[in-house]
Structure 1
Amino acid sequence: MNKAQLIDAIASKAGLTKADSKKALDAFIETTTEALKGDDRVALVGFGSFSVSKRDARTGRNPQTGKPINIPAKKVIKFKAGSELADSVQ
């Protein structure tokens, strides 16, 4: 499902126009992004939670040459599915 299909599905299930659904989805994405940039956790009970984790710098290997390369430290976003979401997929 792509973004346009998701907007269509939200519009039909919530009884909203496609324009209102797009605004709501864009607002959710923007708000979630801002929260994660501030190292906050976004938890949606039953659905899941988004969080930021720090990955330490490490040494890796170039798979073509086998030479060691330095991989810098960075922040990564993690999503953990909630129990209701996980159960509904089973």
Structure 2
Amino acid sequence: MSYSSTLTRADLSDTMNRQVGLSRADSAVMVESILDHMIEALIDGQNVKISGFGTFVLRDKGERTGRNPKTGVEVPIAPRRVLTFRASQTMRDRIIAAD
């Protein structure tokens, strides 16, 4: 299968359509449902772990001091939530082997 430089929701639903046999509409609904479920879990403070793929974690970062690279002036960076992804070892091994 050949993809453009970005894998899209449409690509995922097209793959489900061809490989699983769901209709295009049902495939699109399934992809949206999975993504919505993942988002809701993250909002609720849960990690999302997909075995053999990786783990999505929402972390709270505290306030810290940063520096403007042009002027060197220190500026406060507000606390925020960040989403991180850590690929599973299986995924890393497959990507490295594909090179």
TM-score using structure 1 length: 0.86
Q: Which secondary structure does the structure 1 equivalent of 2:52 belong to?
A: coil
Which residue of structure 1 aligns with residue 50 of structure 2? 44
Which residue of structure 2 aligns with residue 62 of structure 1? 68
| Paired-residue identity, % | 32
Query: In the aligned structure 2, how far is the partner of 1:10 from the partner of 1:43?
Result: 21
Structure 1 alignment gaps of length 5 or more: none
* Alignment pair present for 1:81 and 2:87: yes
Q: CA RMSD in A?
A: 1.4
Q: Which secondary structure does the structure 2 equivalent of 1:6 belong to?
A: helix
Which residue of structure 2 aligns with residue 14 of structure 1? 20
TM-score using structure 2 length: 0.80
Choose 18-27 or 80-89, whichever is displaced more. 80-89
Query: In the aligned structure 2, how far is the partner of 1:21 from the partner of 1:74?
Result: 34
How many residue pairs get matched? 90
Query: In the aligned structure 2, how far is the partner of 1:65 from the partner of 1:25?
Result: 46
Letter in 1 for 2:20: A
After TM superposition, the runs of 4+ consecutive aligned structure 1 residues lying more than 4 A away are: none
Choose 25-34 or 58-67, whichever is displaced more. 58-67
Return the structure number with greater relative CO, CA threshold 8 A, min gap 6.
1
